[in-house]
């Protein structure tokens, strides 16, 4: 049985990899399908994202990484998939994913959607969160594979936090401007 795990994966996170690995145990073959979404401005190109996923999943023999445009259900039909694999983190994910699953069912009754609850340690994790943390100089090594963290740090002109070069690339801090205190001195009211 073949399952498609579609998404933007910009970037792939440890939460995505958790779903991929568990999906590979459930299905004969899993295709991670990177969506080319013209409505989003991604951090990484589609070929970059495909390479990041491939490097992260080399140990999985029943996994393929591909890309597509258009409707996920059309891609799944073209690949003759039996299922769409989706991860659920929070209640809001369930509402959106259930609506999408029902919609896909109206487009192809032969393809089922299978939901996997994200492991607890990744229930908060999203690609957007990773990018936001990195944008402001925070460490993301515990959220994405190491090679992906390096790619992200480079995108935001940062180096790996453990690197000695970090200070060379760090922005010069701006001087603090303080306003005169509006408080009255103690004892004078």
How many CA atoms within 13 Å lie on the side-chain side of 147? 9
From the candidates 40, 102, 135, 147, give the one annotated as an active-site residue.
40
25 known ligand binder: no
122 known ligand binder: yes
123 known ligand binder: yes
Q: Known catalytic residue: 40?
A: yes
From the candidates 49, 56, 127, 131, give the one annotated as an active-site residue.
127
88 known ligand binder: yes
Q: How many Cβ atoms from other residues are within 10 Å of residue 58's Cβ? A: 8
DSSP string across 92-160? HHHHHHHHHHHHHHHH-TT-EEEEEEPPGGGTT--HHHHHHHHHTT---TTTS-HHHHHHHHHHTT---
Shortest CA distance to 75 belongs to which of 35, 116, 110, 112?
35
8 known ligand binder: yes
67 known ligand binder: no
Which residues does 141 contact at the CB level (< 8 Å), separation at least 6?
A: 149, 160, 161
Question: What distance, in Å, lies between the first and last C-alpha atoms of the chain?
Answer: 79
From the candidates 89, 105, 108, 160, give the one annotated as an active-site residue.
89
45 known ligand binder: no
DSSP 8-state symbol, 10: T
Q: Known catalytic residue: 22?
A: no
176 known ligand binder: no
Q: Known catalytic residue: 55?
A: no
Q: Known catalytic residue: 108?
A: no
165 φ, ψ (degrees, to nearest 5): -80, -5
59 known ligand binder: no
16 known ligand binder: yes
How many CA atoms within 13 Å lie on the side-chain side of 30? 24
108 known ligand binder: no
Annotated binding site for ATP: 8-9, 16, 87-89, 97, 122-128
Annotated binding site: 8-9, 16, 40, 72, 86-89, 97, 122-128
Annotated binding site for substrate: 8, 40, 72, 86
Residues marked active site are found at 16, 40, 89, 127
């Amino acid at each position: 049985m073949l399952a498609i795990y579609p998404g933007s994966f910009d970037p792939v996170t440890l939460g995505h990899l958790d779903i991929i690995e568990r999906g590979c145990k459930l299905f004969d073959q899993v295709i991670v399908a990177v969506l080319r979404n013209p409505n989003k401005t991604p951090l990484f190109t589609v070929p970059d994202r495909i390479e990041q996923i491939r490097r992260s999943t080399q140990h999985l023999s029943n996994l393929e990484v591909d890309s597509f445009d258009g409707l996920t259900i059309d891609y799944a039909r073209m690949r003759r998939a039996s299922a769409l694999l989706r991860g659920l983190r929070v209640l809001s994910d369930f509402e959106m994913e259930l609506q999408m699953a029902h919609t896909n069912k109206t487009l192809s009754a032969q393809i089922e959607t299978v939901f996997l609850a994200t492991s607890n340690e990744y229930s908060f994790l999203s690609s957007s969160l990773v990018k936001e943390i990195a944008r402001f100089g925070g460490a993301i090594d515990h959220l994405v594979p190491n090679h992906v963290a390096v790619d992200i740090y480079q995108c935001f002109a940062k180096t790996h936090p453990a690197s000695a070069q970090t200070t060379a690339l760090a922005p010069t801090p701006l001087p603090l401007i303080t306003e005169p205190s509006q408080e009255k001195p103690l004892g004078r009211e």
